[in-house]
Amino acid sequence: KAKSQGLSMAFFSHEMTEHATEMVDLQSRLRGALNRGLIKPFYQPLIDLKTGKTIGVEVLARWVTDDGSIGPSPAVFIPVSEETGLIGALSETMIAQACNDIVRWQQEGVQIKYSINVSARQFADDNFCTEAFAQFERLGVDPKTVQIELTESVLLNNTERSLQKIQELKARGFLIALDDFGTGFASLHYLTLFPFDTLKVDRAFVTNIIEDKRQFAIAKSIINLAHDLDLVVVAEGIETEEQRQVLFDLGCDVGQGYLFSRPVAPDFLSNLLVA
């Protein structure tokens, strides 16, 4: 028995070493990519389901590699950047580049909202919040056109302090969205605690909304609940015309997903917005 434990320990620690080596490698590659300006904002349209018009975009980080293809997913490199303290530099360059694009679009007469993701670690950092959000104003972007997307996990830690920060941001004009709604566990309570403007129904309730009666029931309830609370509802991950139609019939306000557009580079978005 002792022997088999020893074996599994050895196996475990080998796995750990491999994982640690991969993380160190990814971390140094990410640092390099940041230094060379290869972490860039892409933009995914948010569509008013009644008019079909683009009323906003979500800013999503992309790691563009040397040959122009897309590298690791933000679902991988955002957590790595948080564990290694690179998140500060990452969000600084993301906001700087996004503001540059936004100011240009504003000058071209584009009138849409810009949604920015802020992770739990970022939001918990007081310096980050004051500096990052002052950056928008300094770079000429009106906070009223910026929506900050927060997940429940952001608010879990220190509810009172979170509420304070959200109130400060709202006082400066920023809009606040609750992202990935329905995947956490404290959602309903949080809806009464925090002054959200928008609620984003997680893709988990959209993917099989046609086939799965339970997903349909939950999506329907979330949309009605949000409207009763005077929130704008966005459905994420719409990939088919059938899904769009069902969500429209349920009264969902805004749609986002591959059906309308994948996240695209700024020049490509310019074409979409002007066309």
Beta carbons of 87 and 121 less than 8 angstroms apart:
yes
Q: Which of residues 145 and 147 has its CB atom nearest to ligand C2E in the complex?
A: 147
Q: Which stretch binds ligand C2E (CB under 6 A): 25-33, 68-76, 140-148, 215-223?
A: 68-76
Q: Which of residues 152 and 236 has its CB atom nearest to ligand C2E in the complex?
A: 236
Establish if 74 lies at the interface with ligand C2E (CB under 6 A).
yes
Residue whose C-alpha is closest to residue 45's, from 132, 95, 110, 1: 110
User: Please, what sign has the CA dihedral across residues 197, 188, 237, 219?
Assistant: negative
Beta carbons of 100 and 129 less than 8 angstroms apart:
no
Q: Which of residues 2 and 174 has its CB atom nearest to Ca ion in the complex?
A: 174
The one of ligand C2E, Ca ion, none whose footprint includes residue 47, by CB under 5 to 8 A per kind, is: none
Of 19-48, binders to ligand C2E (CB under 6 A) are 44
Instruction: Supply φ then ψ for residue 230, to 5 degrees.
Output: 60, 35
Beta carbons of 201 and 223 less than 8 angstroms apart:
yes
Q: Using alpha carbons only, give the angle 189, 79, 137 rounded to the nearest 5 degrees.
A: 75
DSSP one-letter code for 205: G
The correct pick among 54, 117, 147, 198 for binding ligand C2E (CB under 6 A) is 117
Of 173-192, binders to Ca ion (CB under 5 A) are 179-180
The correct pick among 44, 54, 93, 117 for binding Ca ion (CB under 5 A) is 117
**Residue 28 corresponds to which amino acid?**
S
Site string for ligand C2E, 191-230 (x = CB under 6 A): ----------------------------------------
The correct pick among 2, 4, 66, 75 for binding ligand C2E (CB under 6 A) is 75
